[in-house]
């Protein structure tokens, strides 16, 4: 079945070639992912707010599956404060060129699944990707000297996937990093070899951005 195609924030843009509602249980990777996902929610790096992004949920997190593909937070679940297994999907195949996904789980995967897939494609040592929304980081990205995808590239598209691959391949560190999506309001991505490292990179950027804002107010 085809997923919704739209320019609205948070709405799935890829074509879902096949999705089954088969559940998955007792995966250590999923248990770990749930812990870090809930921490990101508490920090409002992902969430849902009627006053932001037309009320759609924002942000998502994924972890590489030991067999194939990756586990990722499901579409429009970011507003849930404490997650459970039913709030995740397993992307078993992603074809970047045709923007198609195959997945399973109680709910369809996040609208940014293609971006996650493109990052995993860059290096097999990358095991976690965090796509957060942070006004503080996004607005201070130049001062933070963060890499970025260009403003004319919309999120959730084959163009974004290609831009992310190109960007990550050019960075000196191929296993971890942080970049902003200038064409995706407040969109910030971190990735690393572990979920702990990926989340810590994002939180460190947030702390640095808040320090910059504080220094600006005091001048």
194-216 residue pLDDT tens: 999 999 999 999 999 999 988 76
Q: Are the CB atoms for 102 and 91 separated by under 8 Å?
A: yes
**String of b and e for 62-72 (b: at least 16 CB within 10 Å)?**
bbbbeeebbbb
Region 133-161: mean pLDDT is 92
Provide the CATH number for the domain around residue 137. 3.40.225.10
Please give the Cα distance from 101 to 113 (Å, whole number). 8
**Position 136 pLDDT exceeds 70:** yes
Chain Cα centroid distance, residue 19: 20
Query: Strands, DSSP E only, in the chain?
Result: 15-20, 47-48, 57-58, 60-64, 70-73, 88-95, 100-104, 128-133, 147-149, 177-181, 187-192
Query: Strands, DSSP E only, in 13-81?
Result: 15-20, 47-48, 57-58, 60-64, 70-73
Lowest-pLDDT choice from 21-25, 59-63, 117-121: 21-25
Q: Is residue 60 part of a domain?
A: yes
Residue with tokens 């995706």: 184
Please give the Cα distance from 112 to 164 (Å, whole number). 12
Please give the Cα distance from 27 to 48 (Å, whole number). 27
Region 6-20: mean pLDDT is 53
Q: Is residue 53 part of a domain?
A: yes
Region 158-173: mean pLDDT is 90
Find the radius of gyration of the CA atoms of the chain: 16
**What confidence score (pLDDT) does residue 32 get?**
94
Region 1-6: mean pLDDT is 30
Q: Is residue 3 part of a domain?
A: no
**What confidence score (pLDDT) does residue 98 get?**
78
**Position 89 pLDDT exceeds 60:** yes
Region 162-191: mean pLDDT is 93
Determine the structural domain holding residue 25 and report its residue range: 15-217
**Position 167 pLDDT exceeds 90:** yes
**What confidence score (pLDDT) does residue 97 get?**
77
Q: Is residue 5 part of a domain?
A: no
Q: Is the pTM of this model over 0.85?
A: yes
**Position 93 pLDDT exceeds 70:** yes
**Position 11 pLDDT exceeds 50:** no
Q: Is residue 93 part of a domain?
A: yes
Inter-axis angle of helices 113-122 and 158-170, nearest 10: 30
**Position 44 pLDDT exceeds 80:** yes
Specify which of 55-69, 80-94, 133-147 reaches the highest per-range mean pLDDT.
133-147
**What confidence score (pLDDT) does residue 37 get?**
97
SS3 109: strand
Higher pLDDT residue, 2 or 83? 83
Q: Is residue 35 part of a domain?
A: yes
Domain count, the chain: 1
**Position 1 pLDDT exceeds 80:** no
Q: Is residue 10 part of a domain?
A: no
Q: Is residue 97 part of a domain?
A: yes
């Amino acid at each position: 079945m085809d997923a919704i195609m739209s320019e609205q924030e948070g709405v799935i843009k890829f074509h879902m070639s096949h999705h089954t509602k088969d559940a998955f249980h007792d995966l250590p990777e999923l248990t770990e992912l749930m812990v870090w996902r809930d921490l990101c929610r508490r920090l409002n790096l992902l969430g849902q707010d009627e006053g932001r992004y037309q009320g759609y949920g924002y942000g998502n997190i994924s972890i590489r599956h030991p067999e194939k593909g990756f586990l990722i937070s499901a579409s429009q679940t970011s507003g849930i404060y404490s997650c459970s297994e039913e709030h995740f999907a397993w992307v078993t195949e992603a074809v970047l060129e045709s923007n198609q996904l195959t997945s399973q789980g109680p709910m369809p995967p996040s609208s940014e699944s293609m971006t996650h897939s493109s990052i995993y494609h860059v290096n097999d040592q990358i095991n976690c990707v965090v796509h957060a929304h942070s006004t503080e980081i996004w607005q201070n990205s130049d001062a933070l000297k963060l890499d970025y995808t260009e403003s004319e590239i919309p999120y959730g598209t084959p163009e974004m996937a290609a831009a992310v691959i190109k960007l990550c391949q050019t960075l000196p560190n191929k296993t971890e990093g942080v970049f902003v999506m200038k064409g995706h309001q407040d969109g910030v991505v971190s990735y690393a070899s572990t979920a702990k490292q990926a989340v810590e990179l994002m939180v460190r950027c947030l702390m640095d951005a808040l320090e910059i804002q504080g220094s600006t107010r005091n001048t």
